[in-house]
A = this chain, B = another copy of it.
């Protein structure tokens, strides 16, 4: 009887998860393939998926199934697939039930209205026109946070991306990061590193694609289970563990596409390597955004900006871009791809300054939510802190407070996951090195198998079975710790000097 009910739960969640993935397909298509005039109907289709997934989660049918399965759940090993699936479904459902339907709808409507206004405001650097929309989004996020019992409002928002994570914990980590990064960056930025050969010139798309295939070919994807397409804002998406969609961009005047591809490749490997027994369940995805970002950052930075990896890969780069890079040494290339330079735009920031862009946003989000910074004062506060943390002058709001899409969508609480990803990536990397002491020598031969085997076994295959905290505890034997990341940056940037 219990077995039958559990089978029913699997069937039920299979349908739910198929809907989630159909939404994923519709979103991927929207950003890679869809003719532009399809946008209006596509938005409705995506809204329908959201509505149906919501209905699946809050249904009485699911509630009854979960109630009946409680004794079964309690009889199971906490670490089992079955216990995890029931536990997470219960948690997802409870969160979903906590928020009134009208509030969800108002949020969706407000975001849909704010987005085009933001696009135009950014284009014209006109914060004033966006201000009322942002005020409304912030107010709605406050009301959303009020739906949950938490230590502070931001906890509720963060929980959507990092289940169980507390703002206080993140704050402590970020305080330490800021303290370590500000002087480190000031020192690194003073170094004279020439990266002009990466940023000025011509990098033909065909050669970029070839390099990308050579590099991703080392990542160990199963044959016939992935593709990569051009898009404006790179992302990775999985429509199934064997149907992985990466996207990237190929600006022809700089060599950045391969790093974007490695970043998305890290996300993609994570989704690709979830245990196939979890397919078509809500456990078939990464633990959280920060854990996901730890993988993209690991492959983009710890692998993809290491001297060892390019000892293997630089000959390809030189062959493919002979005119441009024929006379550049491996060492110059390595210094250039690791150059630290405070700048205005988050998504163009280097590995070291990136986290400061994030910390600034994390702080401002809390200030907005608490009302301690008024939306109207946001540009001034933004500019002041950019100067304080990164030493840069913000010339206009387009390159300042208006640069990111997130707030226009009503997404608050998401930013910190990017920097947490940096922190976690190095915590994991240290553990990899304990078990694979010759990893550097392997990278020098372009071999990633020991690394990917390690990550598959410890992290990837479990999908979303555990919380971020449980996951970290299982792998590194502790919680978030910024020290390895700071030590890594210190060592690396020191060596470049």
Q: Does A225 sit at the interface, judged by CB under 8 A?
A: yes
With A33-B33, A48-B15, A49-B22 known as contacts, the answer to whether A42 contacts B240 (CB < 8 A) is yes
Q: Contact at A242–B37, with CB atoms within 8 Å?
A: yes
- Using CB atoms and an 8 Å cutoff, list the residues of chain A in contact with chain B: 14-15, 18-19, 21-22, 25-26, 29, 33-38, 40-42, 44-45, 48-49, 51-52, 222-227, 239-244, 279-280
Our pick among B37, B48, B49, B225 for the contact of A243 (Cβ within 8 Å) is B37
Smallest CB gap from A222: residue in B = B37
CA gap between A48 and B56 in the complex, in Å: 13
| Complex Cα spacing A455 to B347, Å | 50
Indicate whether A14 sits within 8 Å of B48 (C-beta atoms), given known contacts A29-B25, A40-B242.
yes
Smallest CB gap from A49: residue in B: B22
CA distance in complex: A222, B36 (Å) = 11
Instruction: Say whether A279 contacts B29, CB under 8 Å.
Output: no
User: How close is A216's CB to chain B, nearest CB, in angstroms?
Assistant: 13
Which 8 pairs show the lowest CB-CB distances between chains A and B? A38-B243, A41-B240, A37-B242, A18-B48, A37-B225, A36-B224, A18-B45, A37-B224
CB A463 to nearest CB in B, in angstroms, measures 14
Distance in Å: Cβ of A230 to nearest Cβ of chain B: 13
Q: Select the residue from A33, A34, A38 with max chain B CB neighbours within 10 A.
A: A38
B44 touches A14 (CB 8 A): yes
Rounded to whole Å, the gap between the CB of A235 and the closest CB of chain B is: 16
By secondary structure, the A interface counts as helix
Identical chains in the assembly? 2
Q: Are A44 and B18 in contact (CB under 8 A)?
A: yes
A326 to B203, CA, bound (A): 38
A35 CA / B224 CA spacing, docked (Å)? 5
Which of B35, B227, B279 has a CB less than 8 Å from the CB of A35? B227
Tell me whether A38 and B223 are in contact (CB under 8 A). no
| Complex: chain B residue closest to A34, CB-CB | B243
* A435 → B minimal CB distance (Å): 29
Residues of the B chain whose Cβ atoms lie less than 8 Å from the Cβ of A42: 239-240, 243
Name the one of B35, B222, B223, B240 contacting A244, with C-beta atoms under 8 angstroms.
Answer: B35
A490 smallest CB distance to B (angstroms): 41
**Docked CA distance A14–B41 (Å):** 10
Least Cβ–Cβ distance between A54 and chain B, in angstroms: 12
Are B227 and A33 touching (Cβ within 8 A)?
yes
Complex interface: chain B residues within 8 A of A52 (CB): 15, 19, 52
Whether the Cβ atoms of B22 and A239 lie closer than 8 Å is no
> Which B residues touch A222, using CB under 8 A?
37
Q: Which of B14, B44, B279 contacts A280 (CB 8 A)?
A: B44
Contact across chains for A240 and B38 when beta carbons are under 8 A apart: yes
Please give 9 more A-B residue pairs, beta carbons under 8 A apart, in addition to A15-B48, A36-B225: A21-B45, A29-B29, A34-B243, A35-B227, A37-B222, A38-B225, A40-B240, A41-B240, A42-B243
The residue from B34, B35, B223, B242 contacting A41, defined by CB atoms under 8 A apart:
B242
B residues near A35, Cβ cutoff 8 Å = 224-227, 242-244
Name the B residues within 8 Å of A34 (CB-CB): 239, 243
Say yes or no: A239-B41 contact (C-beta < 8 A), given A25-B26, A25-B29: yes
CB distance from A436 to the nearest CB of B (A): 28
With both chains docked as a complex, state the minimum distance between the C-beta of A213 and any C-beta of chain B, in angstroms: 14
Report chain B residues within 8 Å CB of A241: 41
Q: Which residues of B contact A280 (CB under 8 A)?
A: 41, 44
Shortest CB distance A21–B (Å):
6
Q: Please measure, in the bound complex, the distance between the C-alpha atom of A19 and the C-alpha atom of B21, giving whole angstroms.
A: 13
A5–chain B nearest beta-carbon distance, Å: 20
A18 contacts across to B, CB distance below 8 A: 44-45, 48-49
CA distance A18 to B240 in the complex (A): 21
Instruction: Determine the residue in chain B with the shortest Cβ distance to A22.
Output: B22
Q: Closest B-chain residue to A280, C-beta based? A: B44
Measured between beta carbons, the chain B residues less than 8 angstroms from A48 are: 14-15, 18-19, 22
- A242: nearest residue on chain B (CB-CB)? B37
Q: How far is the CA of A49 from the CA of B52 in the complex (A)?
A: 12
Q: List 8 A-B contacts (CB under 8 A).
A: A18-B49, A21-B41, A25-B26, A25-B29, A37-B242, A38-B242, A38-B243, A42-B243
Closest to A15 in B: B48
Measured between beta carbons, the chain B residues less than 8 angstroms from A51 are 15
What is the bound-complex CA distance between A390 and B300, given in angstroms?
Answer: 63
- Closest chain-B Cβ to A313's Cβ sits at a distance in Å of 25
Expressed in whole angstroms, the Cα–Cα distance for A15 and B49 within the complex equals 9
Complex alpha-carbon distance, A22 and B243, angstroms: 17
Look across to chain B and name the residue whose beta carbon is closest to the beta carbon of A16: B48
Chain B neighbourhood of A19, CB < 8 A: 48, 52
